Amino acid sequence: MAVYSKGHICLCLGRMEAIREDAPVVICERRRRTGRDLVAGVRSLARGLAHSGVARGDVVAVAALNSDWYMELFLAITYIGGIAAPLNHRWSFEEAKMAIEFVKPKMLAVDEHCSLLAIQMKKSSSLSSIKQYVFIGNLSPGVVCSNNYLAMDLIRRLGQTMTIGDPICAPDEIALICFTSGSTGKPKGVAISHTALIVQSLAKIAIVGYGEDDVYLHTAPLCHIGGISSCMAMLLAGGCHIFIPKFDAGLTFEAINNYQVTSFITVPAMMADLIEYERKFKMSSNGKSVLKVLNGGGSLPEELMIGANCLFPHAKIFSAYGMTETCSSLTFMTLFDPTVKDSMMSYNDSINVNPAPILGGVRVGKPAPHVELKITGDNDSTPGPFVGNIMTRGLHVMVRYWNSSEVTTTRKGWFDTGDIGWLDGQGELWLIGRRNDRIKTGGENVYPEEVEAVISQHPGISKVVVVGVPDIRLTEKVVACLNIKEGWKWVDQNANCSQEEKQVSTEILQNFCRQRNLSRFKIPKVYTLWRKPFPLTTTGKLRRDDVRKEIMSLMQLPSNL
């Protein structure tokens, strides 16, 4: 009989039922469910899925906004040995179809927001793997073609006569297939194990301090590894889950006020939206209840840190670096601790002063207890720190890419993250950038993220993206694309402006880079204003190649160089 050997994410249900038997464990809209209610719901839904034909190793795709029903379905799928495949609710039909064709699910579950997607899928002859369409939530007359769905309540009733034992695992202990959002090319399906989710959850519990007294607000989508892994951490910790359909600054503040939220996760864009919303509406928010904020997707600039500290004065703010293939976070770093005197001053020093300007990069913290890191490259026999490929090994690494023969690990199980960085004498990881984004200029390597980290410190710059464009003499020329802050003015070299004006120019920025010890060959030769949002993937990653192509077209350079 197939059973769990290392662990199963549904083993948290027994503890949850015990410690929150009659206490609310999920709050979503008007629904309040206790630990007993949730556990009973997961088990009855698991029986119904098994009765409906979902067997061990079968894939169930899910396209929906965040809700308690989504979390319940995810647990029920894995309980009977199925594999959950969350689809991004922001995808176009073609993107979703590509993912469906790739993982070949037996069942597709959608909510009202994504119901039209299911109708389109039913009309496609190439999606023959889907045998059943399920509606997440309560069917209503307003739902498109509701008769084509099997409602969750009906699935539960169908399985009433069935019995199920302990949770079982899919082959290779795979719990879910989480799609990456590569900045170029097609997304890949990352097969993640139960064990990886468990060790990642335990790391967040140990480092961030999640506990059964926490009230956790789901600000990140459950189709992303950050949202899923933090959800699992809170399930294991035994805290209470507050659901909003998707991130919205107004809904976030409303939830914080209504439910005394203690923790949530964010990315810099979310934090910027929260700060701007509060500034614009001058609302009265009870941010004092928030005690833990985990930030991912890039470090928080000093301006956002100051704003976050004002909004949530009692919150300990953490930053994490990781990726889908490593089940979210590899390293963690405390950005602000309200219990430590001069914590903000220490943070400001860490982002403004580079203790090793020769190596450069951005500090992203120390590896979690379960994570092993090393740097490899041409200089790995040289004593002392050196810049090279960031490699990792441990139970957190994905099982494999789904339906792919691509080799993902080296000898002895090391996984190449594709990032470049170095480790200092205190075990801190410094991130230089993506290996594939490297610019080759005058025989030297330049990583855009390092240059962006310096330029973004200028008070007149709100966002900067650095790319390399073909150059006859240098091979590639370093170009910086800039979003200027409101109230600042871009000036030409010879412009006559008053000293009182807030000015930004090529010369000013080049001098700024020199003052911060950026090597001469890394300082951009060309600066251009970018008067629109930078192109992003559906998970918020920069499409750097799209920026590069547009800059090349403006400079009238052929894109095939």
Rounded distance between C-alpha atoms, residue 325 and residue 323, angstroms: 6
pLDDT at 350 over 70: no
pLDDT at 560 over 50: no
**What confidence tens digit (pLDDT) does each residue in 266-282 have?**
988 889 899 999 988 87
| DSSP β-bridge partners for residue 470 | 476
pLDDT at 382 over 70: no
At the second CATH level, the architecture of 9-246 is 3-Layer(aba) Sandwich (3.40)
Rounded distance between C-alpha atoms, residue 498 and residue 502, angstroms: 9
The pLDDT of residue 167: 94
The mean per-residue pLDDT over the stretch 292-307 comes to 86
Rounded distance between C-alpha atoms, residue 542 and residue 533, angstroms: 10
| Residue linked to tokens 């900045």 | 183
The pLDDT of residue 406: 72
The pLDDT of residue 4: 47
How confident is residue 2, by pLDDT bands cut at 50, 70 and 90? Answer: very low
> Token pair of 520, please?
């001469």
Q: Is the dihedral of CA 472, 478, 481, 486 positive or negative?
A: negative
The pLDDT of residue 1: 40
How confident is residue 537, by pLDDT bands cut at 50, 70 and 90? Answer: confident
Q: CA nearest 558: which of 471, 457, 491?
A: 471
Buried/exposed code over 312-330 (b: 16+ C-beta within 10 A; e: otherwise): beebbbbbbbbbbbbbbbb
> Which of 216-220, 285-289, 462-466 is predicted with the least confidence, judged by mean pLDDT?
285-289
**Distance set, CA 514 to CA 21, 82, 223, 488, 520 (Å):** 61, 55, 42, 21, 7
The mean per-residue pLDDT over the stretch 233-244 comes to 97
β-pair type (439-441, 489-490)? unpaired
SS3 state of residue 196: helix
Specify the domain boundaries for CATH 3.40.50.12780 within the chain: 9-246
**What confidence tens digit (pLDDT) does each residue in 25-38 have?**
999 999 999 999 99
Contact criterion met (CB below 8 Å) for 84 and 36? no
End-to-end C-alpha distance for the chain, whole angstroms: 57
Q: Which residue has the higher pLDDT, 517 or 55?
A: 55
What is the C-alpha R_g of the chain?
25
> Token pair of 39, please?
């556990």
Rounded distance between C-alpha atoms, residue 492 and residue 259, angstroms: 52
Rounded distance between C-alpha atoms, residue 21 and residue 338, angstroms: 33
The pLDDT of residue 561: 42
Contact criterion met (CB below 8 Å) for 422 and 431? no
How confident is residue 499, by pLDDT bands cut at 50, 70 and 90? Answer: low
> Token pair of 445, please?
């390597």
Identity of residue 358: I
CB atoms within 10 A of CB 260: 14
- Total residues found in the chain within this entry: 561
Specify the domain boundaries for CATH 3.30.300.30 within the chain: 438-554
CATH class of 438-554: alpha beta
Percent of the chain with pLDDT over 70: 88
Q: Is the dihedral of CA 339, 340, 342, 346 positive or negative?
A: negative
Q: What are phi and psi of 264, to 5 degrees?
A: -165, 170
The pLDDT of residue 500: 56
Q: CA nearest 318: which of 380, 230, 431, 435?
A: 230
pLDDT at 246 over 70: yes
> Token pair of 286, please?
């009870």
230 burial (CB, 10 Å; 0-12 / 13-18 / 19+) is buried
> Token pair of 163, please?
């019995």
* List of E strands, 337-449: 362-367, 372-376, 388-393, 400-401, 415-423, 429-434, 439-441, 444-446
Which uninterrupted H or E stretch holds 503? strand 503-504
**What confidence tens digit (pLDDT) does each residue in 197-216 have?**
999 999 999 999 999 999 99
CB atoms within 10 A of CB 235: 24
The mean per-residue pLDDT over the stretch 278-304 comes to 84
Identity of residue 17: E
Q: How many helices (DSSP H) and strands (DSSP E) are in the chain? A: 15, 28
CB atoms within 10 A of CB 418: 14
Q: What is the 3-state secondary structure (H, E, C) of 505-548?
A: CHHHHHHHHHHCCCCHHHCCCEEEECCCCCCECCCCCECHHHHH
> Token pair of 407, please?
């080799």
Contact criterion met (CB below 8 Å) for 70 and 136? yes
**Distance set, CA 267 to CA 136, 247, 293, 418, 519 (Å):** 27, 11, 10, 21, 29
Residue 258 contacts by C-beta under 8 Å, 6 or more apart in sequence? none
CB atoms within 10 A of CB 560: 6
* pTM for the predicted model, two decimal places: 0.84
CA angle 213, 214, 219 (to 5 degrees): 165
